[in-house]
Chain A
Amino acid sequence: MGVVNPRIISISALYAILIFLSLFSRSLAELVFLILITCILSQSLNIIMGLAGLVSLGQAFFFGTGVYMFTYLVINEVNPYLSIILGGLVSAIFALALGLVLLRLRGVYFACGTLVVTLAAPYFISGTGIVGGFAGLNIYRYISPFYNIYLCLFSLLVTSIVMSILTIKLLRSPFGYSLKAIKDDHDAAETLGINTFRQKTIAFCISALFSGIAGAIWAFKQAYILPSIAFNPLRSIEAILTMLVGGTGTVIGPILGTIIYEAFRDAVMRTAPGLQVLIFGILVIVIVLMAPEGLIGLLRKRFKSIRDKIF
């Protein structure tokens, strides 16, 4: 990795575009906020699904735990910025506990486990009535002294950049290689002496940590939480879609995928409101069937000469 690495330049360029857009107008800043939230979810999914090859439908669960932990701390008058970090950490602890159960399973069983956890969480919230319960909670009065959309954007941007750097480092580290080995052939990796369970658990926790942070920042910005929105399973599939569009297991893939997806969704919302989920579901099916390696995969095939430099 040299000083002027094309990969880093292209990623920085994408981030620069996002920053420029967010300074342009308030409505664009809102759009960039959504882009960054989905982008972080997609990047965190990239670690567990893109690198380690575990299909996870539970990104929304960790997002939701981040949201609820943040809210719980804030209404107990903890500093919001500290709560964001703590929200992420609690999500990671949840991932550790869940990983002990779910990561012993392979393939579909794991995916179903994560899906079921996501579906179960809102029932827990509305059943016990904690942190607002079924009806949700408005937390604006607790966070209003700290409230600023540009600070939210900035903290999201920092998280996303940290994730990019982390992914670059992971791709070239023994840990990353062991995850790739697990993805390619689980049994062979185990035979070679990789502690697959431990490596998968660590990857799962990292992925949950950042999803939780994204959730906490989302709660900070929205200032109104609802169990059905915090644990919306749509978010998991959104993360999968954006990762697939961009390209699995790459650094730039999730960022590019999210920008394309959010721009597309914005366009659909303007032209055909109420139909975006329908169109988006069809899109996922088409991409899974036609281009399982994503746009990056298609581009790689087209421009073989520059593929190693940029992607």
Chain B
Amino acid sequence: MLENIASIVLFGLFLAFVYSLQTISFNLVVGMLRILNLAHAELIVFGTYIAYWSWVLFNLDPFMSLPLSAIMGLAAGFALYYLLIKKLVFSTDAALIATFALSLVLSELMKVLWTANYRGISWTLGSIRISSITIPVTYICSTLGSIVTILLIYFIMYKTYFGKACRAVAIDPTASAICGVNVKKTLLYGFVFSSCLAFISGNLLVVYAPTGINPYMGSTIIARCLVIATLGGLGNPWGALIGGLIIGMIEQIMPIVLMAIVPGIEPFSFTPFIYFMAYLLILLIKPEGILGGRR
């Protein structure tokens, strides 16, 4: 029983960092550009597909394809920014509709390109046993990758000029323009950075979706991103870390609890519903989130 709980908590922790990375990249755009990029999840799915195809076509494992994903993410970020996002900066309502439509367009594009089949790769590196808990090495790799990326984001945001400019623009665009920050460029690079991170997190996600890669998986991801972001504080990258931790745990623990308490329920289908309700509850009680918005 104790080992059971330990393994649940451990897997929750693993998932938490993957979710956190997804949400941090989502939050960067919310904080800086003041738009909810509902197409963000589709960028993540693109990253997953890149990992999948480089495995299938070139036999590159998901870690070798990380640089490829990052470069594709940069390219996609530039293209999307100049085609669409540039015209939507700071316009909340129009941006919401347009990015929702963009998410439909991107997922349909993936369907047209790669069909709607469920795909997945079977990448194994063996597993580690600690007493009676078995942990696949690939999970550890993916989570370590997420943690390293999060630390890298922390370094960039707090130690480089670009990161400081990003934070300044997030707090007050006008004041940072007065202080000599090139706001337009910062917004562009901020969006590109976020898109690049989305691709990387998608690439790392491939490990956790051994059979589940399909063009429409974005809708679950974006909903989870919204919940985590709101939980921690919309636009606050570090809130995402706490939110990710909570949601990762809920996702692992809830099915077990549900199975014990409510008979005749499909626990894995029902769990998303629980955290969506948690989202509504947070909105009601503390809409600014645990850490407060935008920093």
Encode contact with B along A94-108: 1 for CB under 8 Å, 0 otherwise: 000000011011011
Which of B102, B234, B273, B280 has the most C-beta atoms of chain A within 10 angstroms of its own C-beta?
Answer: B273
Which residues of chain A (130-181) have a CB below 8 Å from chain B? Answer: 133-134
CB of A195 to closest CB in B, whole Å:
20
A75 at the interface (CB under 8 A from B): no
B24 at the interface (CB under 8 A from A): no
Encode contact with B along A238-250: 1 for CB under 8 Å, 0 otherwise: 0011001000000
CB of B82 to closest CB in A, whole Å:
13
Q: Is B96's CB under 8 angstroms from A101's CB?
A: no
The residue that B93 contacts in the complex, of A55, A101, A277, with Cβ under 8 A, is: A55
Q: Is B269's CB under 8 angstroms from A285's CB?
A: no
Instruction: Give the nearest-CB partner of A276 in chain B.
Output: B108
Chain A residues near B109: list those with CB within 8 A: 278
Q: Is A289's CB under 8 angstroms from B87's CB?
A: yes
Kindly state the interface size class of chain A when it binds its partner: 35 or more
B227 at the interface (CB under 8 A from A): yes
Q: Is A101's CB under 8 angstroms from B272's CB?
A: no
Which of A57, A102, A127, A292 has the most C-beta atoms of chain B within 10 angstroms of its own C-beta?
Answer: A127
Instruction: Give the nearest-CB partner of B219 in chain A.
Output: A119
Alpha-carbon separation in the docked complex, A244 to B102 (Å): 16
Chain A residues near B219: list those with CB within 8 A: 119, 233
Encode contact with B along A277-288: 1 for CB under 8 Å, 0 otherwise: 110111011001
With contact pairs A55-B93, A55-B97 given, residues A127 and B104 touching in the complex (Cβ less than 8 Å): no
Q: Is A123's CB under 8 angstroms from B272's CB?
A: yes
Which residues of chain A (243-266) have a CB below 8 Å from chain B? Answer: 244
Instruction: Give the nearest-CB partner of A278 in chain B.
Output: B108
Alpha-carbon separation in the docked complex, A278 to B98 (Å): 13
Q: Is B104's CB under 8 angstroms from A234's CB?
A: yes
The residue that B265 contacts in the complex, of A129, A274, A284, with Cβ under 8 A, is: A129
The residues of B with any CB-CB pair to A shorter than 8 Å are 36, 38, 84, 87, 92-94, 96-98, 100-102, 104-105, 108-109, 112, 219-220, 223, 226-227, 230, 234, 264-267, 269-273, 276-277, 279-280, 283-284, 287
Can you name 23 A-B pairs with beta carbons within 8 Å? A55-B96, A102-B283, A104-B287, A107-B93, A108-B93, A111-B96, A115-B223, A117-B280, A119-B220, A120-B273, A124-B273, A126-B269, A127-B265, A127-B267, A127-B269, A127-B271, A128-B270, A134-B269, A275-B108, A278-B105, A281-B104, A284-B98, A289-B98
Q: A107-B93, A123-B269, A278-B112 are in contact. List 12 more A-B contacts (CB 8 A).
A: A102-B280, A112-B230, A116-B227, A117-B276, A123-B270, A126-B269, A133-B266, A274-B112, A284-B104, A285-B98, A285-B105, A288-B101
